[in-house]
Each structure stands twice: as C-alpha cells, then as structure tokens.
Chains A and B, each alone.
Chain A
Amino acid sequence: MNGYRHRFPRYGTVGLIVLLLMETAILCSQTGAFPEVAWWQITTWATPVCWWAYLLIIDAWIYRRKGTSLLTDRRESLVIQSILSIAFWCVFEAYNRVMPGWRYIHLEQDLSWRLLGYAVAFATILPALFLTCEFLQGHKFFERTWMPRTRWSHGALVASAVVGAAFVIVPPFLPTQIRGYLWTFVWMGWFFLLEPFNYWRGMPSIYRDWEHGEPSRTLQLFAAGAVCGLLWEFWNMWAYTKWVYIFPLGQNARYFEMPLVGFLGFLPFALECFAMFHFIASFFTREDKLGI
C-alpha cells in the first residue's frame, strides 16, 4: 500500500504536457535554438501558462492521493479563489504603486491583452498556495508538530487588529524614501488585522490553531508559501514578460530575480492569503470552503 489509491486524472497529464512544452520553449529561447521561431512571443505567457499547468498537476496529484480535489469536487471554490486572488493581488499592486517593490518588464502593448494576462496570472496565486498546502497535508507534512498553547484574551485580539491596521495603513503615509523598506509590515499586516475577526466569527483561524497548540497548518502554509515562492521566482526568471524587484533592500544576494531577504515575505504572505480568504468567506458561509 503506497497511499495512492486513485487514478491520476487526465487533466494532470495535460498539465504536465503543457508545462513541458512551455519549459521547452523557454529552453529554446534561452539557448537561441531555432532562431527563426519568435520564442519570446510564447514565453511572454510563461508565467500564467506554467502556473495553470502547475495547478492541474498538483490537483491531480491530490486527487490521486485522497480521491477528492478542488478540480474534481469543488470547482465553485476554485472560481471563488481565483476571483478573490485577482482582487487581493490588485490591492498589493496598489501598494506597489506607492511603495517601490517590483515592476513589470516587456508587457503586452495592447491594453486588453495585457489586462487579460494580468487576470489569468493573478488568478493562480490563491489556488496555488492553498493547493500546495493541501498537497503537503495529504502527505502528512508537519503533522506531529506541537507548540505551547496560546491563550487569546479579548485585549490581545483587539491589539492584534490594531497593530495589523497600523501595519497596512501607516507605511504609505511615511516619507517616500523609506516606504520601500516597509514591505514586511504589509505582508504581515492583513494577517494580524483579519485573524482576530476570523477567530471571533468562528471561521477557520490560525490563532485558534495556536490556542489548541497545533502549529501544523501554520507550518504547512509557511511551506506552501516557500514552495510557491521558489517556483514563482524560478519561472519568472526565464519568462520574457516578467517582474523585477526594485525595493531597496538586500539587492546583492539574490535567488533568481528575488533578493534573498525578500524571499522571507512569501511565508507570512501564505498566512495572509488564508486569513483574507476566510474573512471574505465568513460573510457568505460558515463552512470551511478551503478544507485545509
């Protein structure tokens, strides 16, 4: 018994093929093979194509392991996650206009194509993080971890919300030259701001996990953030249309395009996405729509 009791769905195979084809195009563009082919026209779409292929593959893998997955049984949740993913990332893009963080290069000139590209790429962020977390849960990563129980008084939760609000509101008000150093606060602020509300409203909550002395979901989300961060930077590095980081911190030591210090932001970002998703979901249902 190897733990894999179900067939690998066909869409997973399709995802694998698409990913391999895109990787081949990237390899050809980097090595200058077949110069008569305009590879850059294909690798312009590398980020969204690789990520949608990744979603197909990892979802198929989860199905093979558990017999249930986002694409087979919870498609409406995928749609909601994708819409919220675009909405959440648009907020961070707004911060990026005010605080120097990253900029895009070689964007499509045609605005409608460019907007389509943004939407298709941004829509993968939440599903990728949550599916990776589900994958790690399916393989029982960090399942036997424990931590001292945290008691959440009302005052502590209010303090968390106030600190979170300060983290998300204050940085854009500070002088321009120091805003770029304050991304850490933005990546953590929404978590501190929204988690108390999820806790109070009985939604799935990281704070409640800590209260029960269960850090496994926190660590799984951290790991999902790290895995997705590695892949984001890996696929971005070779894409024609890509982002480059311009925040004024640790630009010397880099992992692909990303300064190493910035890589730490992916960990709280996963927790933040979890908190933001459940906060919005709590207005419509008390069910756990993620199942992670």
Chain B
Amino acid sequence: MSDTIDAAAQATAKLEAVAAREAAGRNLHIPAGDYVRLAQGFYFVFWGLLVTVLMGAQLLILSDIPLFAELFLGLGVLATTVGTWRLYQVRSLGKLWHNRMRMTLALAGLMVYFCLFVYLWRRAPDSVYLLANVFAFAAAGILYIIAFNRVVAALAATLGRKDMVLESRVFGTGNIGLLLLPFAGVVAYIVVSGILQKGNLLSEMRFVLSRANLLVIVVLLLPFSLTLSLAWSCKDAVLRQLSNLDHPDGYDVDSP
C-alpha cells in the first residue's frame, strides 16, 4: 500500500518538476484575465475556508449556536465553492492544473451538498442518517484541503516557484497525516465497533463527538491554517505576476 502511495507521490513530483522546468524554459503566456480569476479564486477560497472551518468546528462542539451563526457555515462553503469555480475557469495553466482543479471543484460541490445535511442535523441531532452525512461533510472538507494543496503545487510549478511547491507538498502531507488519517481511523472505529457490538452507530458517533472537543480544535486548526497561509501567498504571487504584466520592464510596484 505504502509502495503504491510512494510511487504515486514520485510520479506527481516528477510531473510538477517537468511543469516547473517547462515554465522556467519559456515565457508564460497566461492572459491577464486568468490572473484576475486566480487572484479572485484564491481570495474567495481563503475567506471561505476560514469561515467554514471556524463555524464547522463550533457547530460540531457547541449545541446552542444562534441561527445566524449556522448560516455563516453555508456562506463559507459557498464562498469556497465560488473561489474554486473561478480557479477552475483558468484554462491557460496546462493539463495538470486543469485535472487537479476538476477534482477540487467536484469536492467543493460535495461540500455544498453535505453542508445542507449539517444544517438539518442541527435540527434533528438524534438522526443517525443526518449524522452520517455530517461525517461525509467533514470527509469532503478534508479531501478538499488535500486537493487544494495539490492545485497550489501545480500552480507554483507553473510559475516556477520552487519554494511554494515544497511548501504545498509539506502542507499536503501534513493534511494527510493530521486530518485524513485520524479521520479515517475514527470512521473505522465507529464502523468496527458498531459491527462488533451490534450497537447503535449513533451512540458510537456521539461518543466520538463528545470526546472530540479539544482534539478537534487542535488537530483541525493547524493543518487548515497552513493551507490558508498557502492560499494567501498564492494570491500574492498571482497579483505580483499581474503587476509584472502591467510593468514588463521590471518596475517594482512595491517600491516607493
């Protein structure tokens, strides 16, 4: 299993390296409109993810959250999806970017879909069906974060930013280690204990949620914040490229 993952990771790294070499060897022909879409996309993803994570974590932990706070979760997810949609509209960054964006957009769509279940689950917390869908929402969110790191890696490779390629790989690995694997473990625990004890899945899920108070905050916020910083630095990098388009003779807009 690990060999397969290693092989896939090596293949991905090779693709990114090829994209970086290609980008370094030629002038980038990215239309200004695509830079604008990239900047808008990263901006929306940054704020959308931030709101989604904050509200999502609170909704899982606290029971008496007012109505407007729940609606913020929906707004956060929608903003993330709009940002992802803007990024998906960028077609000049090559096949690697496009393939990864397609997967990321699909995951953003799943987040929107399952978000509705989170909001309904708050009205009927005893429903095992709704709670299972809340777990699916969490899974979609974690996979989205991982996919987003891969998108950033593709963009950084195209822009020739080796530092960002490295960061996105490290953060992506961190997301897998700190978010995906513990989450998969929790789901496996619920399923296995549900089968072995022939017990109620709902009580198992509730048990996990009740134990997750501090753990959720610590585990969630670190990988998410790393990814958010990546989104912000991507936006900055894109804006810098855009300003270079306006001033191709090397005029530095940041200088006084």
Contact = CB atoms under 8 A, between A and B. Distances in A.
A283 B67 contact: no
Contacts of B109: 280, 283
A173 B67 contact: yes
Contacts of B117: 91, 94
Given A93-B129, A173-B67, A98 B123 contact: yes
Given A87-B113, A172-B119, A172-B123, A94 B133 contact: yes
Contact of A98 (B67, B71, B105, B120): B120
B113 to A, nearest CB: 7
Interface residues of A, number: 13
Interface residues of B, number: 16
Contacts of A93: 129
Contacts of B127: 97-98
Nearest to A93: B129
Contact of B120 (A87, A94, A280): A94
B96 interface: no
B67 A97 contact: no
A69 to B, nearest CB: 29
B130 A97 contact: yes
Interface in A120-175: 169, 172-173
Given A173-B67, A283-B105, A97 B113 contact: no
A89 interface: no
B229 to A, nearest CB: 29
A95 B119 CA distance: 10
B116 A94 contact: yes
A102 to B, nearest CB: 14
B184 interface: no
A87 B127 CA distance: 18
Contacts of B130: 94, 97-98
B124 interface: yes
A280 B124 CA distance: 27
A172 B120 contact: yes
Interface string A231-266: 000000000000000000000000000000000000
Given A97-B130, A283-B109, A91 B67 contact: no
Contacts of B71: 169
B116 A97 contact: no
Contacts of B116: 91, 94
A97 B120 contact: yes
A173 B119 CA distance: 10
Contact of A173 (B85, B123, B129, B133): B123
B128 to A, nearest CB: 9
Interface in A29-50: none
Nearest to A91: B116
Nearest to B127: A97
Contacts of B120: 94-95, 97-98, 172
Contacts of B124: 97-98
Interface string A97-108: 110000000000
Interface string B102-127: 00010001000100110110011001
Contacts of A172: 119-120, 123
A140 B166 CA distance: 62
Contacts of B85: 283
Interface of B: 67, 71, 85, 105, 109, 113, 116-117, 119-120, 123-124, 127, 129-130, 133
21 contacts: A87-B113, A91-B116, A91-B117, A94-B116, A94-B129, A94-B130, A94-B133, A97-B120, A97-B124, A97-B129, A98-B120, A98-B123, A98-B124, A98-B127, A98-B130, A169-B71, A169-B119, A172-B123, A280-B109, A283-B85, A283-B105
Q: Which 5 A-B pairs have the closest CB atoms?
A: A97-B127, A98-B123, A172-B123, A94-B120, A98-B124
Given A93-B129, A169-B119, A283-B109, 20 more contacts: A87-B113, A91-B113, A91-B116, A94-B116, A94-B120, A94-B129, A94-B130, A95-B120, A97-B127, A98-B120, A98-B123, A98-B124, A98-B127, A98-B130, A172-B119, A172-B120, A173-B123, A280-B109, A283-B85, A283-B105
